[in-house]
Amino acid sequence: MSLDLFDLSGKVALFIGGGGGLGKVVSLGLARAGANVIPVSRNKERNADLVEEIMALGRKSFLTSVDITNKMDIKRLVNEVIENFGKIDILINAAGKNYKKPALELTEEEWDDVLEVNAKGVFLASQIVGEKMIAQGGGKIINFASLGSHLGITRSVAYCSSKGAVMQMTKVLATEWAPYGINVNCISPGYFKTPLTEKVLSEKETCEKIINRTPMRRLGVPEDLVGAVIFLASDASNFVTGTTIAVDGGFLSLAI
């Protein structure tokens, strides 16, 4: 296989959640592979330094934001990217949130909040960008699922429900949009130190349990995700769609 298949030169990547705990390293990895990367989150200024780093690598980017729960704001963002670059080749949906509490204590408002961001937001962004990709003749959509898409994680009922939805949504979109040259896939990260997991992993007993449950005997680092994202964003994955790649150190493979 030619290494050129992994070359993203000239590609335009819209990365929702691209400035988060894992997103920053992945955004820079995409830029090093040749892509022009637009990392976005709700807070516009949050990504200012990252945009500068992307441009320092010789790639194009610009500073913007999005409310992933607002369809009109997503449309505004997508049109803004199209106006600047003329296309979107790669969409990455990685925004996410969680309320870590027992199911009996989770409020209706908290449930709605998690599902709005983690599931509805992925659908709206994929729907709006997918329409553009159909018109332009193809593209790549990469959704961030979770170990919670596969397993029941205690005190995370809304999170696991939303991430299970993302994995199933990926399969449906992949089958519907394959005739248009659009690949839709998922990545399920294992346990990584991020702002979302920081509190849980700061508990020594819990952290040790997770590491001992992981065959590779360590937590993930953001760099571990870069290769999988580049693969799914590149021509190397042209015959891969509707699937989920676990980047988890073997966590999902271990039974006993």
Structure tokens at 161: 């429900």
* C-beta separation of 138 from 121 below 8 A: no
Q: What pLDDT does 256 receive?
A: 73
Q: What pLDDT does 38 receive?
A: 98
HSE on the CB side for 35, CA within 13 Å? Answer: 32
* HEC per residue, 140-184: EEEEECCHHHCCCCCCCHHHHHHHHHHHHHHHHHHHHHHHHCEEE
**Cα diameter, the chain:** 53
- Neighbouring CB atoms inside 10 A of 203's CB total 11
The structural domains of the chain, ordered by start, are 3-192+221-246 (3.40.50.720)
Please state, in angstroms and rounded to a whole number, the distance separating the CA atoms of residues 181 and 179: 6
User: What is the set of active-site residues?
Assistant: 159
Q: What pLDDT does 42 receive?
A: 92
CA 149-154-158 angle, to 5 degrees, is 55
Q: What pLDDT does 39 receive?
A: 98
How confident is the prediction along the chain (256 residues), in pLDDT tens digits per residue?
A: 456 899 999 999 999 999 887 999 999 999 999 999 999 999 888 899 999 999 999 999 999 999 999 999 999 999 999 999 999 999 999 999 999 999 999 999 999 999 999 999 999 999 999 999 999 999 999 999 999 999 999 999 999 999 999 999 999 999 999 999 999 999 999 999 877 788 888 888 999 999 999 999 999 999 999 999 999 999 999 999 999 999 999 999 998 7
Local structure of 185: helix, strand or coil: strand
Determine phi and psi for 98, rounding to 5 degrees: -155, 150
- pTM reported for the whole predicted model: 0.96
